[in-house]
Amino acid sequence: MKGEEDNHRTPDQYETPDEDSLVLDLTGFQLHDLNGVHIPPSLVELDLTANRLSSLDSRISALSRLKKLSFRQNLFHDSGIDPISSFDAISGLQELVIRDNKLTKIPDVSIFKSLLVFDVSFNEIFSLSGLSKISSTLKELYVSKNEVPKIEEIDHLINLQILELGSNRLKVMENLHNLTNLQELWLGRNRIRAVNLCELKCIKKISLQSNRLTSMIGFQDCIALEELYLSHNGISKMEGLSTLLNLRVLDVSSNKLTAVDDIETLTKLEDLWLNDNEIASLDGLDIALAGSRNNLTTIYLERNPCASTPNYSITLRQFFPNLVQIDSNIFC
């Protein structure tokens, strides 16, 4: 069997980039440093994903045209990434990815006045302290899979469209009221017990999977919502959904539901996940979903008592004539 190193790429496997190259992709080289790698000064994008880097090469600080920079899957500690705060020449950077490293704090990226995307997911960050310095131009912020206990220092991010804080230690939804342009909010795998969305009327996607919710109340003002993911909670009643007239996807699987309620007015619903609940009967399901009778294409009800009903699939297809999938069964 070949050793692991046989699968690593090395710079000599690729042609040296031209002096006027715009993109340099060094993904998967497993480099410990960039010695011997030619870095053209014309670069607009530099991808250093999946290497063994732990310190910044000083030549990066001179790439005045750089817009995208990725250090994903490296070995950067805080001290290794800190010098980036003084890289004045690359202050026009728009996308910075430091995902999957060894950071314990939010690095100082205040120098980047046009930053649009910032990703520090899969690190060991214990606080969002430091985000107050980040540019208000930011549109996408990813801090998932860290150790963050509190949503803070994001009030000024009025242009934010995507916020990813899944797999942290959050207990409360807070400080979201200024994010009036937010379209996607990902908070799965936290410890949240109640919904507080501060009337985010532009939001289109929300994930609160694997939290500690016992109620669905709190979404009623999110009238633009198209996708809602609430699986693996402790919800026992469907409520507060009747105003969500744009909803296309609803996932309430793995809860404690005994009936389908409060969605009869939804006419755009296409995907409905109700599996792993306690719904006893299919009786009345057609009435409960009357608004989406013709649009519903996918429904999951497996591992509910009602899934043992005689002619289960036939009944569902009679209720909803355009179904193409029932549980794992796909129909041509």
Residue-wise pLDDT for 161-219, tens only, equals: 999 999 999 999 999 999 999 999 999 999 999 999 877 889 999 999 999 999 999 99
More confident residue, 2 or 212: 212
For residue 205, what are the β-bridge partners?
184, 227
Q: In the structure, what pLDDT confidence band is assigned to residue 332 with cuts at 50, 70 and 90?
A: confident
What DSSP letter does each residue of 93-146 carry, written as one string? Answer: --EEE--SS--SS----TT-TT--EEE--SS-----TTGGGS-TT--EEE--SS
- Greater confidence, 192 or 16? 192
Q: Find, among 52, 38, 46, the residue nearest to 101 by Cα.
A: 52
pLDDT at 129 over 70: yes
Specify the pLDDT at position 97.
Answer: 98
CB atoms within 10 A of CB 157: 22
Q: What is the pTM of this model?
A: 0.94
Which residue bears the tokens 């469209």?
Answer: 161
**SS3 at position 42:** coil
Burial of 247 (0-12, 13-18, 19+ CB in 10 A): buried
Which one, of 159, 217, 158, 150, lies nearest residue 187 by Cα? 150
CA angle 228, 231, 237 (to 5 degrees): 85
Q: Are 180 and 202 in contact (CB under 8 A)?
A: yes
Q: What is the pLDDT of residues 213-260, one digit of tens each?
A: 999 999 999 999 999 999 999 999 999 999 999 999 999 999 999 999
- pLDDT above 50 (res 4): no
| 49 neighbors 70 (Cβ within 8 angstroms) | yes
Average pLDDT of the chain is: 95
Show Cβ contacts of residue 101 under 8 Å, excluding neighbours closer than 6 positions.
71, 73, 74, 75, 76, 77, 81, 122, 123
Q: CA-CA distances (angstroms) from residue 153 to 13, 38, 110, 136, 258?
A: 45, 39, 13, 11, 40
Contacts of the segment 110-117: beta carbons below 8 A, 24+ positions apart: 110/85, 110/134, 110/135, 111/84, 111/85, 111/86, 111/87, 113/137, 116/140, 117/142
Q: Which residue shows structure tokens 């355009």?
A: 322
In the numeric block, which tokens belong to residue 159?
A: 């242009």
Rg (CA), the chain: 24
pLDDT at 14 over 60: no
Segment 202-211 long-range contacts (CB within 8 Å, at least 24 positions apart) = 204/246, 207/166, 208/233, 209/233, 209/251, 211/187
